[in-house]
């Protein structure tokens, strides 16, 4: 082994999850304006960014967590707050 990590699908997935994105990139992912991202942060819906020097950056995992949360809320409201079960 020469000290380099083997590139696998799992390694790439983990690497992507930990990439940091600026406000314009987060806005594009969410389909909103940069100002809306800051409003979501101020309201506590989106986590505060990490600060890298004076730059604000979000891990992709935080953005996916927000999207998962609002999807669960949407799904819960569609079925009256009850979980669907298959019999």
DSSP the chain: --SPPPP-HHHHHHHHHT-EE-HHHHHHHHTS-HHHHHHHHHHTSSPPPEEETTEEEEEHHHHHHHHHHHHHHHHHHHTTTPPP---
pLDDT, residue 79, reads 73
pLDDT, residue 1, reads 46
pLDDT (tens digit per residue) in 32-79: 999 999 999 999 999 999 998 999 999 999 999 999 999 999 988 877
Whole-structure pTM value: 0.69
């Amino acid at each position: 082994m020469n000290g380099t990590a083997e590139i696998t699908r799992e390694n790439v997935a983990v690497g992507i999850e930990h990439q940091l994105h600026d406000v314009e990139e987060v806005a594009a992912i969410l389909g909103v304006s940069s100002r809306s991202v800051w409003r979501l942060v101020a309201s506590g819906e989106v986590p505060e960014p990490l600060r890298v020097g004076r730059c604000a950056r979000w891990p992709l995992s935080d953005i996916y967590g927000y999207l998962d949360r609002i999807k669960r809320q949407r799904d819960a409201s569609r079925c009256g707050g009850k979980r669907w079960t298959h019999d």
